[in-house]
Structure 1
Amino acid sequence: MPTEQRTTPFDDSLRVIALEVADDLAELARVRAWADQLLQDLPEDQRVDALMVVDELAANALRHGTPPRQVRLLRKRDWLSVEVDDTCVDPACPRPASADGGHGLKLVSAMSVSWGQWQRPTGKTVWAEIDLSRTAG
């Protein structure tokens, strides 16, 4: 069940929405639909980029992390941060691309202005920041 801190949309207040993710790769469809619904107001190109970041970070947590997992969208008027928690203490790191994957964090890097992770004794949070101030061109 999503938890939400509501503020007036499109101002400089921070809006945080979280989704708990079950331990099942089928959850990716639910995560995508959830994020897509929340980001409907974005121009199509920005929404596609943001959804790709959400999808890649959530997929990495499901494939390589351990439960419990949570996906959060933190948003202000011209800024979006995607954060994904899991309880695996191994750091997220790009791996060589192959037919089996290895493209996720490279895509996240290309679609965001920055990405990184916070290590905690009980796991990690992988995050990416997206600039929403740019216009389609």
Structure 2
Amino acid sequence: MAQSSEELMLPNDPESAGRARETTRLALRAAGLPDDHVERAALLVSELVTNAVVHAASDVRIRVSARPVTRVEVEDDNPRLPDPQPPLSPSTAMDALEPGGLGLTIVEGLASRWGADRRSQGKVVWFELDHERA
């Protein structure tokens, strides 16, 4: 399996989520990862980039690395860290149908790990996906 990593600067624009998905797909396919893994990462990067576009006024940088685990980082200039998301429950499920607000819940549910780190000028929100052993 080849090692693959990519870095891309994207404008603060709703279309950037699509470019982030495609960059993530290309990097992880080049590393020989299976399609379900690639598509999970593409969904998660899309959610994080969408959050960055909505909540930050800056361009967005993504970094995708395939080894030793898949790690994707989304960096923006907004220093506010995301709030932890409670799991969906019957009492909160109807609220989840409202537009917006599900991105981090999806990340929480599908990522092996995720978090956010402050940087000198903003933050990085990241997730990791473990590779399944054959």
Does the TM-score normalized on the shorter chain lie above 0.5?
yes
Determine the structure 2 residue equivalent to 1:112. 111
Q: Distance in 2 between matches of 1:37 and 1:129?
A: 17
Q: Distance in 2 between matches of 1:38 and 1:17?
A: 6
Identity %: 29
Q: Counterparts in 2 of 1:47-126, with a 5 A limit?
A: 47-77=38-68, 79-93=69-83, 94=85, 97-126=96-125
Q: Distance in 1 between matches of 2:45 and 2:61?
A: 11
For structure 2, list consecutive stretches of 5 or more residues without a partner in the other structure. Answer: 87-94
Give the TM-score taking structure 2 as reference length.
Answer: 0.80
For structure 1, list consecutive stretches of 5 or more residues without a partner in the other structure. Answer: 1-7
Deviation at residue 99 of structure 1 after TM alignment: 1.6
Structure number with the higher strand fraction is 1
The 3-state SS of whatever aligns with 1:58 is helix
RMSD: 2.0
Deviation at residue 98 of structure 1 after TM alignment: 4.2
Give the TM-score taking structure 1 as reference length.
Answer: 0.79
Count of residues paired in the alignment: 123
User: Are residues 1:9 and 2:2 paired?
Assistant: yes
Deviation at residue 42 of structure 1 after TM alignment: 2.0
Determine the structure 1 residue equivalent to 2:23. 34
Q: Distance in 1 between matches of 2:128 and 2:52?
A: 17
Structure number with the higher helix fraction is 2
Which 4+ residue blocks in structure 1 deviate beyond 6 angstroms?
A: none
Deviation at residue 131 of structure 1 after TM alignment: 0.4
